[in-house]
Amino acid sequence: MRKKVCIIYTGGTIGMVPSEEGYIPRKDYLADQMARMPEFSAPEMPDYDLVEFDPLLDSSKMSVGEWNQIGAAIRDRYFDYDGFVVLHGTDTMAYTASALSFMLEGLEKPVVLTGSQIPFCEIRSDARDNLITAVMIAAQGQVPEVCLYFSGRLLRGNRATKLSADELIAFDSPNYPALAKAGVRILLSPQNIRPKGTELRVHLFEPVQIAVLKVFPGIRFQLFEGIITEGLKGIVLEAFGAGNIPGEDNGLLQLLEKARENGTVVVVCTQCLRGSARIGTYEASAPLQRGGVVCGYDMTVEAAVAKLYYLFSQDYGQAQIKAAMEKDLRGELTDPEAL
């Protein structure tokens, strides 16, 4: 029987058209173009249904509400399709992929996010290949995880990050190998793919308050004290190298103390694209250790943010959330013992 894929179209460059103020998504435009693509009638292609979001969004406008909308759309159609493709803008695709990986526990089918750097309406567009290959991968059903297909590579969603604003190879997965490569043939790397789940459980997110704070030379943490309120649930601290921060006279310890009193979880990730935060390697990370932070190891900032949203949307206490942040839940973090 012919396979069936559900394509959830949320917006992004892939279906955008020029306007006086720059590219914008246009309702029905991509659906019309796809209906005219001869590729979709080829025998090796699955049948597809397109679910178009209203309004279609530039992904810079995506938030927790839209993540929930995508998760619910998959949940409601889960048993009707062999796999799912989510068409999405590239700007926040890695955040959405990370969020969906936590939201969709126990996946048995592929959920493949893709988009393009050049709109479908332009002659040199990369939309066609990204769309067709993502649909084929979703139909094959052999990658039961949330993943991101772009320019010839299938990456784990919560390991991916946007690298380039203008190259066609827009994404990379710096701390985890590709799940598949699409050259002349689509070659899967089964050893990198997560095992199939047994039953889907969907955990929608609450719009809790999360902050990302990037450390830089000369930072005065006192400036940020105002954001440390009881309402702030988590902070991702992007530290230097292996998790290092500037000297002790800049207000960091007071900030961490206030965060601790408020129950805010502080997660330390590295600013480096590759490698892992390892608090305690250098004396320059000792204040963090004393401040009771948790280590994000080799998680991307996108994954750490999404994981905080996920954990704070569950019925967990602070200690449980801190422990879970340092554990691998969906393939987002390499076991620190193995690093």
In the complex with ligand ASP, the residue whose CB is nearer, 166 or 335, is: 166
By CB under 6 A, residue 129 contacts ligand ASP: no
Strand-pair category, 209-214 with 232-239: parallel
**Beta-sheet strands, E only, within the chain:** 4-11, 16-17, 24-25, 47-57, 83-87, 104-105, 111-114, 146-150, 153-156, 161-162, 171-172, 180-182, 186-188, 201-202, 209-214, 232-239, 265-270, 294-295
Q: C-beta of 12: minimal distance to ligand ASP in Å?
A: 4
Q: C-beta of 115: minimal distance to ligand ASP in Å?
A: 5
- What is the maximum span of the chain, computed from C-alpha positions, in angstroms? 68
Stretch that binds ligand ASP, among 36-44, 56-64, 242-250, 312-320 (CB under 6 A): 56-64
Q: Is 133 among the residues known to form the active site?
A: no
Stretch that binds ligand ASP, among 57-65, 139-147, 153-161, 202-210 (CB under 6 A): 57-65
By CB under 6 A, residue 59 contacts ligand ASP: yes
Stretch that binds ligand ASP, among 52-60, 96-104, 124-132, 285-293 (CB under 6 A): 52-60
Contact call for residues 90 and 60 (beta carbons, < 8 A): no
Tell me which residues in 210-249 interact with ligand ASP (CB under 6 A). none
* Cα(113)–Cα(131) distance, integer angstroms: 9
Instruction: With CB under 6 A as the rule, give the number of residues binding ligand ASP.
Output: 11
Stretch that binds ligand ASP, among 87-95, 182-190, 206-214, 295-303 (CB under 6 A): 87-95
Stretch that binds ligand ASP, among 85-93, 176-184, 238-246, 268-276 (CB under 6 A): 85-93
Q: C-beta of 185: minimal distance to ligand ASP in Å?
A: 27
Q: What is the per-residue binding string for ligand ASP in 1-40, x denoting contact by CB under 6 A?
A: ----------xxx---------------------------
By CB under 6 A, residue 115 contacts ligand ASP: yes
By CB under 6 A, residue 117 contacts ligand ASP: yes
Collect all residues with Cβ–Cβ distance below 8 Å to 199 and sequence separation of at least 6.
106, 108
Token pair for 282? 């250098």
Contact call for residues 133 and 182 (beta carbons, < 8 A): yes
By CB under 6 A, residue 89 contacts ligand ASP: yes
By CB under 6 A, residue 167 contacts ligand ASP: no
Residue the block writes with tokens 């999404």: 306
Q: C-beta of 57: minimal distance to ligand ASP in Å?
A: 7
* Cα(294)–Cα(301) distance, integer angstroms: 14
By CB under 6 A, residue 119 contacts ligand ASP: no
Contact call for residues 135 and 49 (beta carbons, < 8 A): no
Q: Phi/psi zone of residue 297: left (φ > 0), alpha (ψ -120 to 50 degrees), beta?
A: left
> Of the listed 13, 92, 114, 270, which one is catalytic?
13
In the complex with ligand ASP, the residue whose CB is nearer, 56 or 139, is: 56
Q: Which amino acid, one-letter code, is at 103?
A: M
* Cα(96)–Cα(54) distance, integer angstroms: 17
In the complex with ligand ASP, the residue whose CB is nearer, 92 or 250, is: 92
Q: Which letter does DSSP use for residue 218 in this model? A: T
In the complex with ligand ASP, the residue whose CB is nearer, 116 or 264, is: 116
By CB under 6 A, residue 133 contacts ligand ASP: no
Q: Which letter does DSSP use for residue 123 in this model? A: T
* Cα(187)–Cα(184) distance, integer angstroms: 9
Q: Which residues are catalytic?
A: 13
- Residue ranges that bind ligand ASP, judged by CB under 6 A: 11-13, 58-60, 89-91, 115, 117
